[in-house]
């Protein structure tokens, strides 16, 4: 969802409810200062994270005492707020608590059970790398799935929206002991985080990740599914080792038909992709079919994007016939530009056919 929608979690209703709850929990809460400053004139222009940071800082200014007195109040308030706006409470710890990890880390462990704390742990990772690696390893054995997810998610080398942690980007492989503990976690929520964590690593250490995947493969169906998601980037790139890991060997086939129609479209038009192939091998074969569009960019150069079509086992002589559509409408993540585009069909990581078409 767009940021301008998400930020409305921090609306006037939430601001008033938080002040009321804070005043009930802490009689010395400065309600007047909160009411004067909580919703400044430029509030409509602030983004989600700007609103969150403004309110978490203001909460610290309006609560009496030092951090040691304020923190239990914040932790007690948090369970009363279950919406997206609850991310304010871990942010409070990030703003005021980095000097006091002995209090802050147990608080984040508690808060993450209601509101994910992966953003709040990032400055602690910067300041206390060795301690935090051990902390995340401990969290990986926690009985609560939200804490176990934090063990993986907080350590991601390329955490979206998260503060960069230089040593994690330089050598993300140091997180392997944590991921080893979680690779067969009973919670899909946790395993999904491990897969995304490994996908981050694939962008800088693909060979290392392929070696880890080869060791983990076959641990369980759940771990195999985790690996498929973790290796999605390498599969799209056509890395042979990734395809072979899941049985996508180079197949014997005849591509009887492959086309895009029409081959001249306007932006926002829908194209139809059609293919028909026959498996010629003497035994069954797993097929992974994708198409890659080399989109024209604003500078006239082309940049590829891969889209999955299907994964299917074909028997000897079996024919696969598919029709897919692709809409060339502008998205928040992709803007289309006119020009000559390239369409490629990728079968088990190898380009099997290509077509050019024009976007007008």
Task: Find, among 53, 68, 69, 58, the residue nearest to 32 by Cα.
Answer: 58
Q: Which residue has the higher pLDDT, 132 or 267?
A: 132
Q: What is the band of 321 on the pLDDT scale with cuts at 50, 70, 90? A: very high
Q: What is the mean pLDDT of residues 239-257?
A: 94
Task: Find, among 123, 203, 121, the residue nearest to 158 by Cα.
Answer: 203
Q: What is the mean pLDDT of residues 246-275?
A: 93
pLDDT of amino acid 334:
86
Give ∠ CA 159-1-342 in degrees, rounded to 5.
80
Calpha distance 336→329 (Å, rounded): 7
pLDDT, tens digit, for every residue of 54-91?
999 999 999 999 999 999 999 999 999 988 899 999 99
Calpha distance 202→290 (Å, rounded): 20
pLDDT of amino acid 2:
46
pLDDT of amino acid 83:
83
Calpha distance 326→272 (Å, rounded): 6
Helix ranges, 203-320 (H) = 206-216, 221-230, 232-237, 240-245
Calpha distance 51→75 (Å, rounded): 20
C-alpha distances in angstroms, 135 versus 116, 150, 186, 196?
16, 11, 21, 20
Q: What is the mean pLDDT of the chain?
A: 94
pLDDT, tens digit, for every residue of 299-320?
989 999 999 999 999 999 999 9
Q: Is the pLDDT reported for residue 1 higher than 70?
A: no
Q: What is the mean pLDDT of residues 185-210?
A: 96
Calpha distance 114→144 (Å, rounded): 11
**Whether 164 contacts 126, CB under 8 Å:** no
Query: Could you tell me the domains of the chain?
Result: 1-117 (no CATH), 129-246 (1.25.40.290), 253-359 (2.60.40.10)
pLDDT of amino acid 332:
81
Q: What is the mean pLDDT of residues 87-110?
A: 97
Contacts 24+ apart (CB under 8 A), 357-360: 357/260, 357/262, 357/263, 357/264, 357/265, 357/271, 358/263, 358/264, 358/265, 359/265, 359/266, 359/267, 359/296, 359/328, 360/264, 360/265, 360/266, 360/267
Q: Worst-scoring range by mean pLDDT, 66-80, 225-239, 325-339?
A: 325-339
Token reading at 38: 């909580």
Q: Is the pLDDT reported for residue 30 higher than 80?
A: yes
Q: Rounding to the nearest 10 degrees, give the CA dihedral for residues 60, 61, 67, 73.
A: -50
Share of the chain above pLDDT 70, in %: 99
Helix (H, G, I), strand (E, B) or coil at 175: helix
Calpha distance 257→265 (Å, rounded): 21
C-alpha distances in angstroms, 221 versus 145, 191, 225, 273?
19, 12, 6, 33
pLDDT of amino acid 78:
94
Q: Is the pLDDT reported for residue 3 higher than 70?
A: no
Q: What is the mean pLDDT of residues 187-211?
A: 96
């Amino acid at each position: 969802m767009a940021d301008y929608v998400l930020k409305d979690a921090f609306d006037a209703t939430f601001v008033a409810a938080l002040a009321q709850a804070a005043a009930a929990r802490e009689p010395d809460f400065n309600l007047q200062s909160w009411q004067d400053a909580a919703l400044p004139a430029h509030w409509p222009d602030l983004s989600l994270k700007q609103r969150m940071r403004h309110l978490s800082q203001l909460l610290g200014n309006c609560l009496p005492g030092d951090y040691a007195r304020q923190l239990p109040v914040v932790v007690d308030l948090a369970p009363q707020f279950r919406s997206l706006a609850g991310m304010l409470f871990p942010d409070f710890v990030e703003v005021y608590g980095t000097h006091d990890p002995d209090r802050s880390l147990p608080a984040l462990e508690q808060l993450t059970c209601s509101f994910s704390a992966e953003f709040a742990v990032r400055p602690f990772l910067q300041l206390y790398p060795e301690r935090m690696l051990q902390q995340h390893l401990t969290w990986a054995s926690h009985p609560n799935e939200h804490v176990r997810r934090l063990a993986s998610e907080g350590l991601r080398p390329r955490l979206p929206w998260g503060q960069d942690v230089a040593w994690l980007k330089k050598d993300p492989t140091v997180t392997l002991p944590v991921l080893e503990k979680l690779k067969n976690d009973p919670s899909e929520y946790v395993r999904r985080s491990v897969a995304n964590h490994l996908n981050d690593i694939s962008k800088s250490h693909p060979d290392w990740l392929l070696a880890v995947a080869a060791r983990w493969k076959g641990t369980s169906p759940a771990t195999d599914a985790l690996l498929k998601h973790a290796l999605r980037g390498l599969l799209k790139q056509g890395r042979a080792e990734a395809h072979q890991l899941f049985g996508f060997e180079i197949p014997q086939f005849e591509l009887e038909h492959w086309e895009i129609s029409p081959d001249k479209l306007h932006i926002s038009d829908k194209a139809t992709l059609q293919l028909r192939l026959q498996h010629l091998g003497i035994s069954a074969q797993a097929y992974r079919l994708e198409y890659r569009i080399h989109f024209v960019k604003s500078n006239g150069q082309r940049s590829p994007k891969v889209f999955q079509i299907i994964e299917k086992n074909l028997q000897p002589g079996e024919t696969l016939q598919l029709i897919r559509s692709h809409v060339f409408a502008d998205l928040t993540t992709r803007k289309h530009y006119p020009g000559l585009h390239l369409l490629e069909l990728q079968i088990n990581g190898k380009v099997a056919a290509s077509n050019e078409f024009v976007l007008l």
